[in-house]
Amino acid sequence: MTKLSVNINKIATLRNARGGDRPNVVQAAKDCERFGAQGITVHPRPDERHIRYQDVYDLKPIVTTEFNIEGNPTPDFLKLVKDVKPEQVTLVPDAPDAITSNAGWDTIKHKNFLTDIISEMKSLGIRTSIFVDPVESMIEGAAIVGTDRVELYTEDYARQYHANREAAIAPYVKAAVKAQEYGIGLNAGHDLDLDNLKYLKDNLPGLLEVSIGHALICDALYYGLENTIQLYLRQLK
């Protein structure tokens, strides 16, 4: 079964909109795990507009499943990761002012940069994953820099899904096969939801984990958090 890691950034966005500590991010993470989530994902950004760096420190002692920290590997981010030592770090090349992640790494152009960071993370016992577009050459580059996993950026798949899901999934299948050839683990994330998740899972060989936040939290407004997590888990069976 493909694992579900719940991104709780939107919980923090709601808290920050009003100030105070409601909803409580730590309690939300505990609840997600209690309701069946197999991982917790956070993506702190420099302006701390949703998850704050302190949240990450607060979450580390209580997350009992896989803790996945995503972000652009700036010096501050890398210090946070070294301090917390999550099970997985996902390196994302997002600009500081990006609303959300919108592109994967050019693993060829940034070969030396990624190789150095990944080597350091591995020396600390942290599994590394890098955010990439579904392009075979980028998977090849990911193998060269030594990453443990790649996370396929699935916005294009989600956008095209209802018009032609076979065409939408095609480049992702090629990327997944290439990852298997190189022995790289496969994650996926971005704009996945209850409509498009099962088809992705059924057609991507070796899909280990999906990270889902925005759609899942939106669905929870209607279905409740516990029920929503169970609905997503059913799509992954």
- CATH number, domain with residue 125: 3.20.20.70
Condensed to tens digits (0 to 9), the pLDDT of residues 186-228 reads 999 999 999 999 999 999 999 999 999 999 999 999 999 999 9
Q: Which of 17-21, 78-82, 166-170, 176-180 has the lowest mean pLDDT?
A: 17-21
Pairing relation of β-strands 207-212 and 185-189? Answer: parallel
The pLDDT-based confidence of 103 (bands split at 50, 70, 90) is confident
Give 209: exposed, middle or buried? Use CB within 10 Å, 0-12, 13-18, 19+: buried
Distance of alpha carbon 142 from alpha carbon 129, whole angstroms = 9
* Host domain of residue 202: 3-235
Torsion 30-189-209-108 (CA) sign = negative
Q: What is the number of structural domains in the chain?
A: 1
Tokens 């920050």 label which residue? 16
Q: What pLDDT is recorded for position 99?
A: 52
Q: Residue 166 corresponds to which amino acid? A: E
pTM: 0.95
Tokens 């925005």 label which residue? 214
Average pLDDT in the chain: 96
Q: What pLDDT is recorded for position 102?
A: 64
CB–CB of 32/40 below 8 Å? yes
The pLDDT-based confidence of 94 (bands split at 50, 70, 90) is confident
What residues are annotated to the active site? Answer: 43, 70, 190
Phi, psi of 12 (to 5 degrees): -70, -35
Condensed to tens digits (0 to 9), the pLDDT of residues 55-79 reads 999 999 999 999 999 999 999 999 9
